[in-house]
C-alpha cells in the first residue's frame, strides 16, 4: 500500500466520521424536538436496538481510524486483514441499523 492510498483512506474515514456525527445530531434533534417525541422513540425496542448498534459501530470504527492515521506515516499492509474484518463487522451493523430503523418506522 502506498502512502497516497493510506492518505486517501484516512480522508474517506474522516468524511464518514463527520457524516455519522451529523446523522447523530439530526437524529437526536428529531427525537427530542420534532416528529413523535422522545417518549415514543424510547418506548420502542427497535429504536433502542438501533441506537445501541449505532454506538457499537462507532466504537468499532475507532480501530480502523487509528490504523488509517498510522498508515499515513508508515503504511503497514500486514494490518489490512484485521482492518478488513472490523470494516465487515461495521457493515453488518449498518445493515442491522437500517433494519431497526424500518422497524421503528412501522410502529
Per-residue H/E/C for 33-99: HCCCCHHHHHCCHHHHHHHHHHHHHHHHCHHHHHHHHHHHHCCCHHHHHHHHHHHHHHHHHHHHHHH
Are 83 and 67 in contact by the 8 Å Cβ rule? The answer is yes
Taking the C-alpha atoms of residue 13 and residue 48, their distance in angstroms, rounded to an integer, is: 26
Amino acid 20: pLDDT: 94
What is the share, in percent, of the chain residues with pLDDT greater than 70?
99
Taking the C-alpha atoms of residue 61 and residue 25, their distance in angstroms, rounded to an integer, is: 18
Dump pLDDT digits (tens) for 21-38: 999 999 999 999 987 889
Residue 1 has pLDDT above 80, yes or no: no
Residue 106 has pLDDT above 90, yes or no: no
Dump pLDDT digits (tens) for 56-104: 999 999 999 999 989 888 888 899 999 999 999 999 999 999 999 999 8
Amino acid 105: pLDDT: 84
Amino acid 39: pLDDT: 92
Amino acid at each position: 500500500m502506498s502512502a497516497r492510498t493510506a492518505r486517501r483512506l484516512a480522508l474517506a474515514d474522516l468524511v464518514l466520521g463527520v457524516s455519522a456525527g451529523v446523522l447523530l445530531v439530526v437524529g437526536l434533534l428529531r427525537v427530542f424536538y420534532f416528529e413523535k417525541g422522545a417518549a415514543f422513540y424510547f418506548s420502542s425496542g427497535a429504536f433502542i436496538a438501533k441506537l445501541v448498534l449505532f454506538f457499537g459501530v462507532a466504537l468499532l470504527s475507532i480501530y480502523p481510524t487509528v490504523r488509517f492515521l498510522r498508515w499515513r506515516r508508515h503504511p503497514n499492509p500486514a494490518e489490512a486483514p484485521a482492518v478488513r474484518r472490523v470494516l465487515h463487522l461495521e457493515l453488518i451493523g449498518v445493515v442491522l441499523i437500517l433494519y431497526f430503523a424500518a422497524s421503528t418506522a412501522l410502529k
